Amino acid sequence: MFIAVELKDAAERLLNRREPLLAVLKFEALNEKLHSLREQLRDETLWSGNRLDDAQRLQRELRDLERALEPILKGQVAVDNLRDIYEFCKTSELSETDEAAWTNELMQAIADTKVVLDDLELQAFFSEPMDANNAIVTIHAGAGGTEACDWANMVLRMYTRWAERKGFSLDLQALQTADEAGISGATFRVIGLHAYGYLKAERGVHRLVRLSPFDANHKRHTSFCAVDVVAELNDDIEVPINEKDIRIDVFRSSGAGGQHVNKTESAVRITHFPTGIVVTCQNDRSQIKNRASAMAVLKARLYERMQDEKRSAMERFYGEKGEIGWGYQIRSYVFQPYRMVKDLRTNIETADVQGVMDGDLDKFMETWLRAGKPRTRS
């Protein structure tokens, strides 16, 4: 059967992409680990009362591993399907009508396989040790007063919607409401496979330009907020913290809540003197649980700070971030006089402002990952 040169080249390129991807993604090692976890979970003693924590941890690992392997297996199925159709088209003698039908089948298989392999290729960019972990995200309102606080609240909503789209859970740990509108800051965990791998692309200053709803003259205002992202640490990573280096304060939770939340000193603030890092957690009724959560966030930030010291040549947004304003932004969101969201590192832009604010952020994150994580510029 005659196959157009462009279809032949496209099919062969896709068929040749699978094996290198499997090697980069360490498919064989992941598959062996999957079988090992399943064997461990079959151990009846694992489900006894004093080992339930281990059982739950293994179940979480198995679930995350199955999610990691799912696109790889899907890619294998797509490639095998493409190979079968391609080989049939090359070797069969068909009528003109059947040849046209099978050409369409081949074109569809090429398109489907490209989508699957492109998605699979993205996983190869999650190469850093912490990329598969949950993420701890902090939002700070910057220059712009009430406008900036309202913008920070909009950014919090944007990431909430993004997490929902990805099937991730979002656990709000601390929220500081502003006097007039919006929030001055927020800290939350995003729970899901590769949450940190995706969200590390969002680290930096986000700028908004719009006609202010808080200005009686309805003038155009520019507002800023900073987004900071660290990876939640695995249990096997130790970050030593000297008790003399920290101060733990307890206070009443602020904002919306029930009778218990606002009437007892359940909120916890931990100050780390050597670095000046301050962590607050008030999402739980239990002071003990809030303290444990705050300590986990502090350890994650200290660990990331240690890693940053090893990568001092890179521009990062930890420690002294400088002014949250001009010269530090990674992305601009323009509502008026025109509508556009543009990433200033990769030059990716879109006019679908509402879609972005509803959580359609993958195009920015994925382009940043594929571009080799270029440095922030003004």
Distance CA 77, CA 278 (A): 49
In the prediction, which pLDDT does 317 show?
Answer: 41
SS3 210: strand
Distance CA 346, CA 330 (A): 9
Distance CA 87, CA 79 (A): 12
Distance CA 4, CA 272 (A): 66
Q: What is the pLDDT of residues 231-266, one digit of tens each?
A: 888 766 678 788 888 898 888 776 554 444 455 677
In the prediction, which pLDDT does 378 show?
Answer: 35
In the prediction, which pLDDT does 251 show?
Answer: 82
Phi, psi of 287, rounded to the nearest 5 degrees: -65, -35
Q: DSSP label at 234?
A: P
Domains of the chain in start order, with CATH, are 5-123 (1.20.58), 135-237+313-370 (3.30.70.1660)
Packed helices 96-123 and 52-91: angle between N→C axes, nearest 10 degrees? 150
Please report where in the chains the tokens 């040169």 appear, as a residue.
5
Please report where in the chains the tokens 């991730």 appear, as a residue.
168
Please state the pTM of the whole predicted model. Answer: 0.68
In the prediction, which pLDDT does 259 show?
Answer: 45
Strands in 169-177's sheet, in edge-to-edge order, are 169-177, 183-191, 135-141, 220-231, 204-211, 329-334, 340-343, 349-350
Question: Comparing C-alpha atoms, which of 25, 18, 204 is closest to residue 126?
Answer: 25
Phi, psi of 235, rounded to the nearest 5 degrees: -65, -25
Question: What residues contact 33, with CB distance under 8 A and at least 6 apart?
Answer: 65
Strand partners, 170: 190
Distance CA 177, CA 121 (A): 41
In the prediction, which pLDDT does 327 show?
Answer: 61
H/E stretch holding 54 = helix 52-91
Using 70 as the pLDDT threshold, list the residues of the chain that sit under it: 1-2, 49, 235-237, 254-264, 309-327, 373-378
Distance CA 162, CA 191 (A): 12
Question: What is the token pair recorded at 125?
Answer: 């960019």
Q: How many CA atoms lie within 13 A of 260 on its CB side?
A: 7
